[in-house]
Amino acid sequence: MDTELAKPPRSVHMMLKDKAAWVELQIGPEDEQFDGYPDLGIEEWHKKHGLLVE
């Protein structure tokens, strides 16, 4: 990768129902959490949050 990536404004935590018991989550105030897959795909999520770079 040639370009430095910006720090993401939030994270999406998915598949939480299947995480190992020893995993300690670090959930930020803007983060989204899902037991399974998120409601939006990757491209849709980036569009919704104004982060899509074409």
Please tell me the predicted confidence (pLDDT) of residue 1. 64
- Find the Cα–Cα–Cα–Cα dihedral 17, 37, 42, 23, rounded to 10°: 10
Distance from C-alpha of 52 to C-alpha of 22, rounded to nearest angstrom: 34
Please tell me the predicted confidence (pLDDT) of residue 25. 96
Give pTM, 2 decimals: 0.74
- Number of helices (H) and strands (E) in the chain: give both, helices first: 1, 2
Low-confidence ranges of the chain (pLDDT < 70): 1
Q: Which helix (H) or strand (E) holds 13?
A: strand 12-13
- Tell me the HSE value of 12 on the side-chain side, using a 13 A CA sphere: 14
The encoded tokens of residue 41 equal 């795909």
